[in-house]
Structures are given as structure tokens and as C-alpha cells.
Amino acid sequence: MATKGGALRLMMKSVFRPAAGLLAAAISTLAMLAAAPVPAMAQAAHESAAGVMIGPVSGLPVPRFVSLKASKVYVRRGPTKDHPVAYIYRRAGEPVEITAEYDNWRRIRDSEGAEGWVWHSLLSGRRTALVAPWSKDAALPIHVSAGGDSRTSARLEPKVLVEVRRCDGAWCRVEGDGFDGWIEQERLWGVYPGERFD
């Protein structure tokens, strides 16, 4: 029969194992975690027959571009209201990219690479874009028709918000306050290279 003192010595030995033993235990724990199923929140979208990644909640492609519906959108560090607010958007129509889904929350990324989670109803399927937010050029041309040889109808500064009406894979028709025309698709943040839509 073990005495209290003997039990205490046994417990002390198990608590103060050599560092090598602790390291082995930590490695074993990490291996078990790596083999464990990925939680639903972090699960990647599944691939459709066409090779497009599909969101596990919406059934829509992930990633995909959308825009902010409200003029004040709280972006949280995780997909619940219990997570702290990371930052706040204050411009409706701003394009963002959905990179993950969890229940009614969507993880988004903006043109500067900032990421966070927003409630799904604060997002809209309306397509918008920013004109070359990375550009140092003074202004970029908007043409009357698709093609660089067509007449210039306007010039837009980098980071101007535009509504995207359609893209043919190389050019997009955009409009906004006082302009309507075509711009090279690669000069927009809010559409994918080669993406086509009407």
C-alpha cells in the first residue's frame, strides 16, 4: 500500500520529468493534433467537377469578389460576435474577396491584404472594383470601347471606386460618377484575370 509521502514522491517525479521527456510528449501531442480532423471553421472549400472551389455553406465559388453593402461594416478577428473588432470599413461598395465561409460569417480580404470576418448580410453580390490601387500613375484611361486603340473618354485616379458592368476576359466596362467606359481588366482590383461575366 502506497503512503501519502510515497504518492507525493511519485507525483513529483512525473511532474519534473527530464526536458527530453517533455519534448517527446510535446512532439507526440503535435503529431496527434496534425492528424486530427480539421474543424469546420477552417475547412477548405471543396472542389466541384469543373475544378472550381465551392464554399461549404453558400455553395458559391471561394474565393470570389463581392462588395460591402453597408457604409459601416465591423470586421472581426473570428467568426462570432464574441471576437474583437479588428477594424471598421466606412465606405459602401468597397470590393472585398471572400476567402472562407463559416456558418453566416465570411472571411474577407481587401485590396491591401487585410483580412477578417464579417456577417454575410453586410455583403452584396454587386460587382465593384478599385482602379489600380497599386499604381503610381497620375490617371488611367477609360476608353469608349474595349481595346487600347479606341478613344479615351475619361481618366481615373488610382483607387477610384467603379461599378463593374461586364468583363470579357481582357477588358471591363465600368461606370461611376460622370464616366462610363472600358478599362483593361488587369488594372482593376475586384475582378480576376481572365474572368468573364455580364
CATH for 55: 2.30.30.40
Residue 53 has pLDDT above 80, yes or no: yes
- Residue 78 contacts residue 118 (beta carbons within 8 Å): no
Please report whether residue 17 resides in a domain: no
pTM for this prediction: 0.76
Copy the grid coordinates of residue 108: 474577407
Please report whether residue 21 resides in a domain: no
pLDDT (tens digit per residue) in 86-98: 999 999 999 999 9
Residue 18 has pLDDT above 90, yes or no: no
Which residues are bridge partners to 100 per DSSP? 107
Count the domains in the chain: 2
- Residue 175 belongs to what domain range? 129-197
pLDDT (tens digit per residue) in 122-163: 999 999 999 999 998 789 999 999 998 999 999 999 999 999
Q: Measured between alpha carbons, how far is 75 from 98 in angstroms, rounded to an integer?
A: 13
Residue pointed to by grid coordinates 461606370: 175
HSE-CB of 192 using CA atoms within 13 angstroms: 12
Please report whether residue 10 resides in a domain: no
Residue, of 14 and 78, whose pLDDT is higher: 78
| pLDDT category of residue 25 using cuts at 50, 70 and 90 | very low
- Residue 149 contacts residue 125 (beta carbons within 8 Å): no
Task: Please give the pLDDT value at position 185.
Answer: 98
Task: Examine the domain organization and report whether 86 and 114 are in the same domain.
Answer: yes
First to last CA, the chain: 82
Task: Examine the domain organization and report whether 98 and 54 are in the same domain.
Answer: yes
- Per-residue pLDDT averaged across 76-86, rounded? 97
Residue 100: is it exposed, middle or buried by C-beta count within 10 angstroms (0-12/13-18/19+)? Answer: buried
Task: Examine the domain organization and report whether 133 and 122 are in the same domain.
Answer: no
